[in-house]
Amino acid sequence: MPALGAGCVCFPTTFLSQHKETTVQLPIQRRTTIRLVVAAAGLAISAMAMAQETIKVGLLLTYSGSSGVGGQLADHAIQLFQKKYGTTVAGKKIEFVKRDTTGPNPEVVKRLAQELIVREKVHVMIGPDFTPNVLAVAPLVTEGKVPTIQTGAATSGIVGERSPYFLRTFFSIPQLIRPLAEWAVKNDLKKTYVVVADYGPGHDSEAQFNKAYTALGGTIAGNSRVPVRNPEFSSYMQRIKDANPDAVLAFFPLGELVPQFLKAYANAGLKDTKIKLIGTADMTDEGLLDASGDTSLGVITSGPYSDAHDSPENKALVADFNAVASKIGRFNASAVAVWDALRLIYDGVAAQGNAKFDPDKFMAFTRGHSFDSPRGPVTIDKTTGDITQNIYIRRVERQDGVLKNVEMVTFPNVPAK
């Protein structure tokens, strides 16, 4: 840093002194010296400021409460990414400012986002997680012109609609549901019972599946909406038994409902029947697999990322991650979303070179940007800013004593819409 500063100072001072000598007649030696010193000092300060410009990245994630693991996993992903790719891009230091959303908490998140944008003056944000939080920050992000990358909200109709500064490296519900419906019909699952959690994303999944599945010739055998606080599943299991479908589609938010549902499903004896249990990646997320245990064996889900994804990059990443963070949890879809959000930020900042950070140029660059993610090739959509990626149909199996989402079928380049 000092060497660079000094180098920058030398050139303009000599230039300045020549300039002075040619335009000003017989300058008083002493005054010139003072002027030169002042000019040199000013330039040195501005040169140092140039070299030290930092890009502030606001992290709006959940660090405490029932979803607190998510934030901790993100922190480890960030550390690992910076270890691998460095902490500066094009001479700019990448710095992080953390805020804890504590869960789906739109009022709190609105205040935190305001704090990050107005007081901390962040250039880019990662998060917030949970759809209601995302909706709450949309107007602030637009007004403050802060590119904001979604790594944990999957509802359709957010990215590309609520704010021109939204990007997403996670996945969208229809992106997972459509390939799943297609796979189910292809594999002769003609009658499906749909069980979803009774809240926005649950209704979204239900509607998307009904549309895609019936369009392909499938029949909905029945449906149940389960309260988000629900300790007792036996009635729903009985309804499934009565309907006697070929498959059950289940959608629950990441959390206690998933292991509860899987346990109730196994206890009711449904796991031992010919009925197939299918769902979105949330049902067998790496963060819940170990808690669900053997009840999740054989569950078929569609998802963008599995820590068992067979590529050298992913294997190395998972090994590095487990070496430092295996106590906290496993690398999962939201951790890889944070990883890819950093890739977008690094690439986007690098593309602007030495110039001052410009959010609109950042958006123009990232939209349409393609890169290789640990999950496979991804592209950020040119018009919406949402992610286009491979969707894999996976089955939970035990490999080397660990439950894993083993990929069976790949649907390449599935758009988010």
Partner 1 sequence: MTSLLTILFNGLAYGLLLFVMAVGLSVTMGMMQFVNLAHISLSMLGGYVMVWAMDAAGVPFLVSLLLAFGACAAFSVLLERLVLRHFYGADDLTQVLLTLGLLFMSIASVAFIWGPAFKPVTVPSWLTGQFSLAGLQLERYRLFLLVAGGLLTLVLVFTLERTRFGAMVRACVDSRRAASGSGINTDGVFALTFALGSGLAGLGGAMSVNLLSLDPNFPLRYLVYVLIVVSVGGMGSITGSLLAACLIGVADVLGKYYLPELGGLFIYLLTVIVMLWRPQGLMGRAA
Shortest Cβ 64–partner 1 spacing (Å): 9
Q: What are the tokens at 203? A: 């209704």
Shortest Cβ 143–partner 1 spacing (Å): 35
Shortest Cβ 337–partner 1 spacing (Å): 20
The binding site for partner 1 (CB under 8 A) comprises: 65-66, 68-69, 198, 224-227, 229-232, 234-236, 238-239, 241-242, 256, 259-260, 263, 266-269, 272, 287-288, 290-293, 327, 329
Report the candidate in 46, 45, 74, 69 with the shortest Cα–Cα distance to residue 58: 74
Is 193 or 365 the residue whose CB approaches partner 1 more closely?
A: 193
Shortest Cβ 194–partner 1 spacing (Å): 12
φ/ψ bin of 336: left (φ > 0), alpha (ψ from -120 to 50), beta (otherwise) = alpha
Shortest Cβ 310–partner 1 spacing (Å): 26
| Half-sphere exposure in the Cβ direction for 234 (13 Å, CA) | 2
Is 179 or 245 the residue whose CB approaches partner 1 more closely?
A: 245
Query: How far is 142 from 161, CA to CA, in rounded Å?
Result: 11
The angle formed by the CA atoms of residues 211, 212 and 213, to the nearest 5 degrees, is 95
Q: Contact 339/373 with Cβ under 8 angstroms?
A: yes
Query: How far is 298 from 360, CA to CA, in rounded Å?
Result: 46
Is 225 or 417 the residue whose CB approaches partner 1 more closely?
A: 225
Q: What's the Cα-to-Cα distance from 299 to each of 98, 253, 281, rounded to whole Å?
A: 36, 16, 10
Is 82 or 230 the residue whose CB approaches partner 1 more closely?
A: 230
Query: How far is 389 from 176, CA to CA, in rounded Å?
Result: 10
Is 9 or 288 the residue whose CB approaches partner 1 more closely?
A: 288
Shortest Cβ 295–partner 1 spacing (Å): 9
Is 30 or 327 the residue whose CB approaches partner 1 more closely?
A: 327
